[in-house]
Amino acid sequence: MRIQEDPGGGLLKLVLKLLASFSVALILGVGSALLLLGSGGLGGTIAIGPWESSDVIGSSEADPYTRARVAIAGLLALNRNETIYFTAATDDEGAPLRTECTYNIFGSDPPARWWSITAYAADHYLIPNPHDRYSYGGNTVAREEDNSFVISIGRGARDGNWIPTGENDGSFTLTLRLYNPSEAAARDPSGIVLPRIAREACSQ
C-alpha cells in the first residue's frame, strides 16, 4: 500500500530553513556591528599611529556605522572645519589601553586654535576619580622647556599633568579634539603630527 506524502511537510521544512538562515544572518550582522561599534575607535579612513578619525564625521556623507559610533561615544560631531576628532583605543605598540597600566603621552601643540585630550572609560563616560581630573587642553597643560608636553595616565598620583584611571580594571580610550584647526589640517587631517602614546608599566 502506497502512503501519500503530506504536501505541507515540504513547505514546513522550507519555512524552517528560511527562519534558520534569517536567524544566522541576524546574529552575524548584529554581532559584527556590536564588535565594530565596541572597538573604541572611530573606525574611519584616517589613522595616525594609534589615533583614528573619519573624514565624514559631522557631514551628510557619514555612513550608519559612523553615525552610530558618534552617538554611542557622545561626541558632538561638528563640521571638520570647526573640529577634528581623533580617538585612540591602543598605545603606539598596538596594545589595548588598560586602566591598570601607566602611559605617557608625548606631544606638542597640533595645528588648531585650541585642543584637548580626554580619557573615557569603556562605557564612554568620564573615569570617576576623587581628583576630578579628566582632561588637559592647550591652556591647562604644563609644558616642557621646548613648549612640548607630557601627560601621564594611570592610577599612581604624579606631579604635573596626570589623568587618573580609577580603581577598576578595564579598557579605556582617549579622545583628542582639535578646535578650529588650520586650513591645511582641515583639508588633510592625515598629515597632522599627533602625540605618541607610550606604555610605561602595568600592575600585576
CATH of the domain at 148: 2.60.120.600
DSSP state of 124: S
Q: What was the pLDDT predicted at 56?
A: 56
In this structure, is residue 71 part of a structural domain? yes
Q: Say how many CA atoms lie within 13 Å of 182 toward its Cβ.
A: 10
In this structure, is residue 70 part of a structural domain? yes
In this structure, is residue 30 part of a structural domain? no
In this structure, is residue 88 part of a structural domain? yes
Of 2, 172, 15, residue with least CA distance to 97: 172
**Mean pLDDT in residue range 18-35:** 47
DSSP state of 189: G
Is 88 in contact with 52 (CB distance < 8 Å)? yes
Residue 36, H or E segment: helix 7-37
Q: What was the pLDDT predicted at 121?
A: 95
Quote the CA–CA distance of 157 and 167 in Å, as a whole number. Answer: 12
In this structure, is residue 26 part of a structural domain? no
Mean pLDDT value across the chain: 80
**Mean pLDDT in residue range 31-55:** 64
Is the overall model pTM greater than 0.85, yes or no? no
In this structure, is residue 77 part of a structural domain? yes
Res. 35: pLDDT tops 70:
no
Beta carbons within 8 Å of 144's beta carbon, 6+ residues apart: 150
Quote the CA–CA distance of 60 and 49 in Å, as a whole number. Answer: 27
Q: Say how many CA atoms lie within 13 Å of 118 toward its Cβ.
A: 19
3-class SS of residue 29: helix
**Mean pLDDT in residue range 154-166:** 94
Residue 70 domain boundaries: 38-202
For the stretch 172-190, pLDDT in tens is 999 999 999 999 999 999 9
Residue for cell digits 584616517? 46
Q: How many domains does the chain have?
A: 1
Q: What was the pLDDT predicted at 82?
A: 86
Residue for cell digits 594611570? 154
Side-by-side strand order, sheet with 162-164: 162-164, 149-154, 101-107, 196-202
In this structure, is residue 160 part of a structural domain? yes
Q: What was the pLDDT predicted at 203?
A: 86
Q: What was the pLDDT predicted at 148?
A: 97
Res. 72: pLDDT tops 90:
no
**Mean pLDDT in residue range 126-150:** 95
pLDDT confidence tier of residue 54, bands split at 50, 70 and 90: confident
Q: What was the pLDDT predicted at 109?
A: 97
Of 7, 48, 183, 32, residue with least CA distance to 112: 183
Res. 196: pLDDT tops 80:
yes
In this structure, is residue 134 part of a structural domain? yes
Of 148, 153, 161, 135, residue with least CA distance to 201: 153
